[in-house]
Amino acid sequence: MTSPSPQKKKKIAIVGLGVAGSYLLNRLGRDHEVMGYEMQKEGEFQAVCAWGTSKNELSKIMKLLGIDFEKYILFNGKKMVVDLGQKKPARKIPLIGLVTYDKHQLELDLTAGRNAKFGVKATPSLLKDEAYDMIIDCTGLHRSFLPRIKEDLWIPCVEYKVSYGNENNGDVRLPKDDFYIRPFEGLAGYLWSFPLEKGSAFVGAGDYRKRHNAALDEFNTENPGKIVKKIGRPIRISPPKYCEPFFLGNVVGCGESIGTVFPLLGEGIIPSLQCAQLLCENLDDLPRYREAVLKKFEYFNYVYDIIKLKFEGKFSMVRHLPLMLKTYKAMKKMEDRFGLEVRMADFKEIVSTY
């Protein structure tokens, strides 16, 4: 990373210190005059997410900042079980780098030693007298500094951190000992259980048709554990194509605020970091940033189209095979980045079952 010449040094506000914002605070804070704003209080900061990601890609991204990602890993997955209900045997997808990691700690470490105000909900009027050259909207779902999106599709989600340790004999038995997901009818979302550090897991669910709370209650009744915390927020699944404008005046969006969430899985950590990288590379040329984001996440559009067709009950495996093939081919090329083996048979079976 090269230092910009002195005349290019900018005064930048980064609003929202989640995945994208904490990365940008760390990286841009090296060469520019940067201030971060996060509405959550420092000690109570929650990284609402299931903390699942591909260690291959995260290691590469963090290495460039001099951070060893391996030390944040909580659980290394071997297989992802996709529960297809009573009708069919579960699919077992081999994993090649999918992990859970301490996302909370990594975000805190990225902001350590940088200028940041926690417990401050930034608004355009709050920042208007600060004369920032650039305000980066990393507020995720909130998108507090940019105009509303016309086609804003989001999935409500709830998640529990559950501990399964037996306090009497110290025995630990996770009901699902590896990555586990159970899609909802119409591919409108899924229930998940992702192992964390020894004896605990994130058990959550998100569903466009709002069946997630009932499904979670049922899972937790069948698989009792100690609920350590309950968190949640919706996930935006409209891809960047539908989240324009990306920039307006001195504001530019980055991360989930401009739709960088893979619609099939609600997976936004890696895409939001990739988006932050693109912004750093194009800080002086926002039209080029826009082009780069649209190109990088073009494959989200096919997936989104499949999801929308499923939601509307209009999906046909025969008619929409070209969309399936485009999605499969794009994902297949990125197995490392997804951290799992991408197989057409799994994809077809899941989409046709649900």
Ligand X SMILES: Cc1cc2nc3c(=O)[nH]c(=O)nc-3n(C[C@H](O)[C@H](O)[C@H](O)COP(=O)(O)OP(=O)(O)OC[C@H]3O[C@@H](n4cnc5c(N)ncnc54)[C@H](O)[C@@H]3O)c2cc1C
Residue ranges that bind ligand X, judged by CB under 6 A? 15-21, 37-40, 48-53, 121-122, 138-140, 142, 144, 157, 159, 204, 232-233, 235, 255-257, 261, 266-269, 272
Quick check: helix, strand or coil at residue 124? helix
From the CB of 64, what's the least distance to ligand X, in Å? 17
From the CB of 136, what's the least distance to ligand X, in Å? 10
Comparing CA positions, the residue from 114, 148, 144 lying closest to residue 126 is: 144
Comparing CA positions, the residue from 200, 197, 132, 193 lying closest to residue 162 is: 200
Helix residue ranges per DSSP H, the chain: 19-28, 55-63, 103-111, 124-127, 212-222, 269-281, 286-296, 298-311, 321-332, 335-338, 344-353
Show Cβ contacts of residue 152 under 8 Å, excluding neighbours closer than 6 positions.
236, 238, 242, 243
How far apart CA 298 and CA 128 sit, in angstroms, is: 34
Nearer to ligand X, 24 or 283 (CB): 24
Q: How far apart are the first and last CA of the chain?
A: 45
For residue 133, give both structure tokens. 């050259």
Nearest-Å Rg of the Cα atoms of the chain is 20
From the CB of 316, what's the least distance to ligand X, in Å? 29
Nearer to ligand X, 19 or 201 (CB): 19
From the CB of 68, what's the least distance to ligand X, in Å? 20
How far apart CA 234 and CA 64 sit, in angstroms, is: 31
Nearer to ligand X, 310 or 337 (CB): 337
Nearer to ligand X, 24 or 315 (CB): 24
For residue 213, give both structure tokens. 């709370």
Nearer to ligand X, 4 or 231 (CB): 231
User: Under a CB-based contact definition with an 8 Å cutoff, are residues 341 and 94 in contact?
Assistant: yes
Quick check: helix, strand or coil at residue 26? helix
Nearer to ligand X, 39 or 73 (CB): 39
For residue 2, give both structure tokens. 């090269």
Kindly state the greatest CA–CA separation across the chain.
Answer: 65
From the CB of 170, what's the least distance to ligand X, in Å? 28
Nearer to ligand X, 216 or 315 (CB): 216
From the CB of 140, what's the least distance to ligand X, in Å? 3
Nearer to ligand X, 152 or 348 (CB): 152
Q: How many CA atoms lie within 13 A of 268 on its CB side?
A: 28
From the CB of 319, what's the least distance to ligand X, in Å? 31
From the CB of 314, what's the least distance to ligand X, in Å? 27
